[in-house]
Amino acid sequence: MLNLADIKATASAVGFDICGVTKCKNFALDKAFLESWIESGFASDLDYLKRNTDKRADATLLVEGAKSVIVCGVNYKNLYSLGYAAKATNKIASYALTTDYHTTIKSMLKQMCDELKRLCPTLSGRCFTDSAPVFEKRYAVEAGLGWIGRQSLLITPQYGSFVLLGVAIISEQCDSYDAPYTGVGCGNCRRCIDACPNNAIIERHIDTRRCISKATIERDNDALPLHGWIFGCDECQSCCPYNHTSPLCCNDLFRPTFDPTAIEWDKIGEAEFEIHFAKTPLARATLARLKRNME
């Protein structure tokens, strides 16, 4: 059995800003909602969302014998998170200005689990960061970290929505668990709904057919207006009042490694792109896709 305080101390020691722990749960209602959302066409061509909905609802189908879920997060807010100058072009979502978080967070989760295994040698499990069908945000709410905002992202009271999540699904029970989040939430605010330039937000879910973030990264949708974004979109986060009062990131691993306003894209060829951006999330889109997004 693991000790809740030990888990939180270990998460903090490897660099996570927040950590909560909950039991494995069956999210049958969330699965039903996801399936009706897909059925309505809101998932567009994001086929990975349509697969393994059973595993999303029940983590024990993903990790045999799973008992607990550790949800960890890092604040990545930087100087570009609250928006670019008016009429700026070639805008890049602020999470993409540094090393790809999939790599960084997975390494931090591994360090955390290695240390927990030292404390509890029978521990087994798996770590994920956007890399498997897991209701990460739902687990974060159950682990007391925050609530799901109207733009469908996790909002934490300390760091707003500029938080990158990772989860460890583990075989051990804990001596105690965090209580689900019950704070005030969004209240009457609807700023993110009003701020979305393509009206893609429909009360706690997204119509991905209209979402700039999806269109710039995942697939081609040349008809959709991108409003100056070439990779991702922060519009529904930069308007959020919780993000205005949250602190800037103080973890070097998540600070920007380049200035998006200083890149002379017309001088960047494949070789330069490889040198400067291969380890960033931009590599996922490819240089050709980014250049098409500038047109």
Closer to ligand SF4 by Cβ: residue 68 or 238: 238
Closer to ligand SF4 by Cβ: residue 108 or 164: 164
Q: Which of 96, 170, 212, 285 binds ligand SF4 (CB under 6 A)?
A: 212
The reply on whether position 145 binds ligand SF4 by CB under 6 A is: no
Q: Which residue's C-beta sits nearest to ligand SF4?
A: 149
Quote the crossing angle between the two packed helices 101-119 and 4-13, to the nearest 10°.
140
| Residue 210 Cβ vs ligand SF4, minimum distance, rounded to whole Å | 7
The reply on whether position 233 binds ligand SF4 by CB under 6 A is: yes
Give the separation between CA 149 and CA 237, rounded to whole angstroms. 10
194 is catalytic: no
| Residue 35 Cβ vs ligand SF4, minimum distance, rounded to whole Å | 21
Q: Of residues 130, 175, 178, 207, which has the active-site annotation?
A: 130
Strand partners, 231: 92
Strand partners, 22: 69
Give the separation between CA 184 and CA 288, rounded to whole angstroms. 44
| Residue 191 Cβ vs ligand SF4, minimum distance, rounded to whole Å | 4
The reply on whether position 285 binds ligand SF4 by CB under 6 A is: no
Give the separation between CA 155 and CA 192, rounded to whole angstroms. 12
Binding mask 155-194 for ligand SF4 (x = CB under 6 A): x------------------------------x--xxxx--
Residue 175, CA distances (Å) to 14, 63, 138 in order: 22, 21, 22
By CB under 6 A, the residues from 115 to 144 that bind ligand SF4 are none
Closer to ligand SF4 by Cβ: residue 125 or 149: 149
Stretch that binds ligand SF4, among 40-48, 106-114, 126-134, 197-205 (CB under 6 A): 197-205
User: Are 44 and 210 within 8 A, CB to CB?
Assistant: no
Give the separation between CA 143 and CA 287, rounded to whole angstroms. 39
Q: Which of 68, 75, 94, 213 binds ligand SF4 (CB under 6 A)?
A: 213
Residue 273 is classified by DSSP as: H
Q: Nearest CA to 256 among 242, 276, 226?
A: 276
**Token pair of 268, please?**
């960047």
| Residue 108 Cβ vs ligand SF4, minimum distance, rounded to whole Å | 25
By CB under 6 A, the residues from 242 to 261 that bind ligand SF4 are 242
User: Are 234 and 83 within 8 A, CB to CB?
Assistant: yes
Give the separation between CA 169 and CA 216, rounded to whole angstroms. 31
First to last CA, the chain: 56
CA angle at residue 44 from 43 to 46, to 5 degrees? 70
Residue 173 is classified by DSSP as: -
Q: Which of 200, 249, 282, 285 binds ligand SF4 (CB under 6 A)?
A: 200
| Residue 290 Cβ vs ligand SF4, minimum distance, rounded to whole Å | 17
Q: Which of 17, 116, 235, 254 binds ligand SF4 (CB under 6 A)?
A: 235
| Residue 254 Cβ vs ligand SF4, minimum distance, rounded to whole Å | 19
Site residues for ligand SF4 per CB under 6 A: 149-151, 155, 186, 189-192, 196, 198, 200-201, 206, 211-213, 233, 235-236, 239-242
Catalytically annotated residues: 130
